[in-house]
Amino acid sequence: MNEHGQIQNLTVDKVYHALGSSAAGLDSVEAVDRLREVGKNSVEIHDPWRIPRSLIHQFTNFFTLLLFASAGICFVAEYLQAGQSMMVLGWALFGVALLNALFSFFQEYRAERTMESLRQFLPHMVEVVRGGRTLSLLSEELVPGDLLILKEGDRVPADIRLVLAEDLVVNNAPLTGESLPVSLTAEAVDSRLVESNNIAFAGCQVLRGSGQAIVIATGLRTEFGKLAHLSQALRRPLSPLERQIAHMVRTLTFIAVSLGISFFLYGMFSGRSLWVNLVFMMGIIVANVPEGLLPTFTLALAMASKRMAHRNVLVTSLSAVESLGAVQVICTDKTGTLTHNQLAVTRLAPPGLDAEFKTKKDRDLLLGLALCASQVRKTDEGYSGDPLDVAIIERLIAEVGETEHILTDTQRHFPFDVEKKRAAGLGTVEGQLVFAVKGAWEAIRPMLTGIKSDDDITLTVDQANLDEAEIKMTALAAQGFRVVAVAYRSIESVSDTQSSQGQLESEMILAGFLGIEDPIREEVPAALTSCHAAGIKVILITGDHPDTAMSVATRCGLVDRSASTELVMTGDMLEQLNESELVEALTKGVRIFARTSPSQKMKIVMAIKSMDQVVAMTGDGVNDAPALKAADIGIAMGRSGTDVARASAQIILIDDNFASIVAGIEEGRTVFLNIRKFTNYVLVSNGPEILPYLIYILLPVPLALTVIQILAIDLGTDIIPSMALGQEPPDPESMQQPPRSQDFRLLNPGLVVHSYLFLGLLEAMWSLGLFFYVLVDGGWQLGMELAVDDPLYRSATGIALATILLMQIGNLVGRRYAKSSGLDFGLFRNRLMLAGIMIQVFFSWGLLYLPPLQKILGTGPVNSSVYLIAWLGVPLIFSSDYLRKQLFSRNDESIKSSIYHHLP
């Protein structure tokens, strides 16, 4: 309604009238009617089809559909000619597709459940006045017009208009991003709703004081709800790894289906039976599709997420593990991310232009006077009160350990007044009764008659020393400090203690200035240095003042101290730019955005994405949620972050340590390189799996590998070694390279040639050579047909399978490094790799000589000398690949460096 849009401009009586309420609150009947009309005070959007839709999505990717189609072909083939084990094969393919889809769904479902924490961010119980009685009820039952009671420590449950405020201070940082507390009043103000100090927003916390307020908006109509709705409504784009996998799946699927259909038609035209052609088509498809690759991807990412958790990086979406390594730009919030989101007194300065406190006693006196004008309470957790007052006493404790001998008694306190811009108090400092004032310099300057010099002498005020003090204050402000002036006067007469604040504020002596700031986190400068070394741009986006933003960026090393102010853009300037103009500004080097709104944060993120760069957004407040969701990677703070921010993010820093981002990026880059390693490893075995089917359809020879045997490789012996490659430690040089180009493909021509036409062909030739050797040695001749249960055929196909398994050992070791051999002590530290090698050795022997495996795989024994010859394939493939590394090391280096590119 229109009144809501101007509610901050109305007097208290008119506020009651506009909301249809009164000083006695709503009556119960009216409250029930309004609840029925506007709904519960909840930001959750109920989507009953979300889970079923997510589940269906897992069954619609190319790989899954292809496996289901292959299973269907197997069932048809079994119907046409029963007793050929096609039913078993069909159920095996069906099971692989089903399990992989369900496993992926489970991971996604578990990540999305974090959205439920939105409800926990708002308080469960609140106190309201209804019908003249104070009631305690669930926050979700609040309605517009309810009269809410506020007290220190409460979290505001809805957007409210104050009607009574007693020294009321709230922290709007979760919503606005600014860490400074806001003093509230019940008076009408002439300002915009979001800038009004008689309005408090849902999700913000009461730091001090008490009051009453009328609820003006609930649920999704609150500013909190609008942001939450925006973050929920946004659909996160596919991650870089998801795009890479989708491309690889489409490519392999196209190849598999094209070859399968082509040779099926060729077989039909050449006069082969439908059964033979179906078996052949199935073999081609199964041989081309690395069925174990997707489960291995998922397992590798899951293991990496566990390793990242040990480094205080919690992953809520598995694809984000690798995506973090692809990040080219990090957009970081200031409050709670680069800084502690906690005020601290970090500078104590005397009034003189070039003066500094010479003794610790002088510093303690200044703090004592400031504390005299403060009001704090001791609690079990420490101190509570206005954050500035808490910062003062914490600095005093850090200086002297105890405060009793500095401040022994506080007789009266005058709370901070928004219009007067100061707070004051009467107390005893060093045994002397004093009246002290702290606040804005412009508010204290007119009441000064003296200025304390660095020699502990009180100078009479004149224009010169006032100007010096103002220059000192301005210099501190230019360094990014919030400057608080402290003045005092001695109280000689007891009767003066009963005087009003206005009467006491005369003949004051300026004691000095406090430099207040939200300190930079200690680990941030080193983390930013690592980001720069890794070729990652860091952009600061904050709701704070431009000078404050520039100061923080300079102190933490985001920009050089000599950097131009042209690097800074305000929200007002940003509002005037369209996306192309913003892209141009980013290209020219803008690195700091100040006074930005939540929608503008998202505008910046979208502009960077339009530059084809992978962007990560860090933040901890409600106001960061939409941008966190829109970014390729959303990174939220675990401790200081709001539940809304954590629910919108894919990465959560458990320790709020910006440096953990660097550790996560290193892990992400390692994951991508390791995924590339085991993709290369798995595709190598496709060569010896495909070639037997091509020879079988073109020549009158037996089929060297059955479909069951191919699945034994893809879903059996290759899984553990692939996982082992996924656990290889980080490359020391990975964080000295810029991020990889988005044009770089996981499956590119170089990888295909190396996998299929070099190592794959080598495995195929060696295994087929031994296959035909066993056949010929057993009396087989070209064109002679052999039954699938013929002992000679079973022995020949057995040695072909055993040879592939053994040669995969040499392939496995060679995949560990791009240039070196892979034979080092790290091989023995990777237990999964040792286990994978042992499995391949055992199965290569067992499928030849153990009756249970012989029966399952359709294999038979061979002479031990033939098996020993198969072992020669291990050094053959390993040495051939190592020779390639040495001969083409320069070319390999250029291929490796093409993964990365420098940002403009």
- Cβ pair 633, 616 in contact under 8 A: yes
Kindly tell me if the per-residue pLDDT of 123 is higher than 50: no
* Claim to verify: residue 195 and residue 259 sit in the same structural domain: no
- Selected residue with higher pLDDT from 449 and 655: 449
Question: Domain boundary residue among 630, 656, 682?
Answer: 656
Considering 337-341, 594-598, 677-681, 893-897, the range whose residues carry the highest mean pLDDT is 677-681
* Claim to verify: residue 727 and residue 776 sit in the same structural domain: yes
Residue 803, pLDDT score: 97
User: What is the C-alpha separation between 469 and 454, in angstroms, rounded?
Assistant: 12
* Claim to verify: residue 330 and residue 348 sit in the same structural domain: no
Residue 407, pLDDT score: 47
Average pLDDT, stretch 236-242?
69
Hey, which bits of 571-714 come out as E strands? 592-594, 615-619, 633-637, 651-653
Question: Domain boundary residue among 233, 263, 296?
Answer: 233
For the entire predicted model, the pTM comes to 0.70
* Claim to verify: residue 705 and residue 833 sit in the same structural domain: yes
- Domain-located, residue 451: yes
Kindly tell me if the per-residue pLDDT of 146 is higher than 90: yes
Mean pLDDT lowest among 389-403, 463-477, 591-605, 867-881? 389-403
User: What is the C-alpha separation between 356 and 350, in angstroms, rounded?
Assistant: 6
- Domain-located, residue 879: yes
CATH number assigned to the domain comprising residue 174: 2.70.150.10
* Claim to verify: residue 625 and residue 712 sit in the same structural domain: no
User: What is the C-alpha separation between 62 and 632, in angstroms, rounded?
Assistant: 23
CATH number assigned to the domain comprising residue 320: 3.40.50.1000
CATH number assigned to the domain comprising residue 389: 3.40.1110.10
* Claim to verify: residue 391 and residue 358 sit in the same structural domain: yes
Calculate ∠ Cα 278-279-282, nearest 5°. 85
* Claim to verify: residue 526 and residue 567 sit in the same structural domain: yes
Give me the residues paired with residue 181 across strands. Answer: 171
* Claim to verify: residue 367 and residue 453 sit in the same structural domain: yes
Neighbours of 527 (CB within 10 A): 23
For residue 493, give both structure tokens.
Answer: 């007469």
- Domain-located, residue 141: yes
Kindly tell me if the per-residue pLDDT of 119 is higher than 60: no
Encode pLDDT of 256-299 as tens digits.
888 888 888 888 888 777 777 777 777 777 777 776 777 777 77
- Domain-located, residue 793: yes
- Domain-located, residue 2: no
* Claim to verify: residue 397 and residue 462 sit in the same structural domain: yes
Question: Domain boundary residue among 486, 514, 542?
Answer: 514
**pLDDT tier at 643 (50, 70, 90 boundaries)?**
low
Considering 177-186, 200-209, 292-301, 692-701, the range whose residues carry the highest mean pLDDT is 692-701
Q: Is 776 helix (H, G, I), strand (E, B) or coil?
A: helix
DSSP letters of 55-114? HHHHT-SHHHHHHHHHHHHHHHHHHHSTTSSHHHHHHHHHHHHHHHHHHHHHHHHHHHGG
Mean pLDDT lowest among 146-155, 334-343, 577-586, 821-830? 334-343
- Domain-located, residue 661: no
* Claim to verify: residue 204 and residue 321 sit in the same structural domain: no
Number of structural domains the chain divides into = 5
Phi and psi angles of residue 461, each rounded to the nearest 5 degrees, phi first: -65, 130
- Selected residue with higher pLDDT from 145 and 620: 145
Average pLDDT, stretch 140-144?
91
Encode pLDDT of 363-396 as tens digits.
888 888 888 878 777 776 677 777 888 888 888 8
- Selected residue with higher pLDDT from 536 and 891: 536
Considering 134-148, 163-177, 710-724, 754-768, the range whose residues carry the highest mean pLDDT is 754-768
Neighbours of 312 (CB within 10 A): 17
Residue 512, pLDDT score: 93
Strands 147-151 and 205-217: what pairing? Answer: antiparallel
Encode pLDDT of 736-791 as tens digits.
788 877 777 778 888 889 999 999 999 999 999 999 999 999 999 998 989 888 99
Residue 405, pLDDT score: 43
* Claim to verify: residue 651 and residue 527 sit in the same structural domain: yes
* Claim to verify: residue 295 and residue 362 sit in the same structural domain: no
Which structural domain range is residue 55 located in?
A: 50-116
User: What is the C-alpha separation between 303 and 753, in angstroms, rounded?
Assistant: 29
- Domain-located, residue 663: no
Kindly tell me if the per-residue pLDDT of 124 is higher than 80: no
Residue 900, pLDDT score: 39
- Domain-located, residue 179: yes
Q: Is 780 helix (H, G, I), strand (E, B) or coil?
A: coil
H-assigned helices in 354-423? 360-372, 387-400
**pLDDT tier at 729 (50, 70, 90 boundaries)?**
confident
DSSP structural state of residue 190: -
Residue 891, pLDDT score: 52
Mean pLDDT lowest among 132-146, 304-318, 508-522, 815-829? 304-318
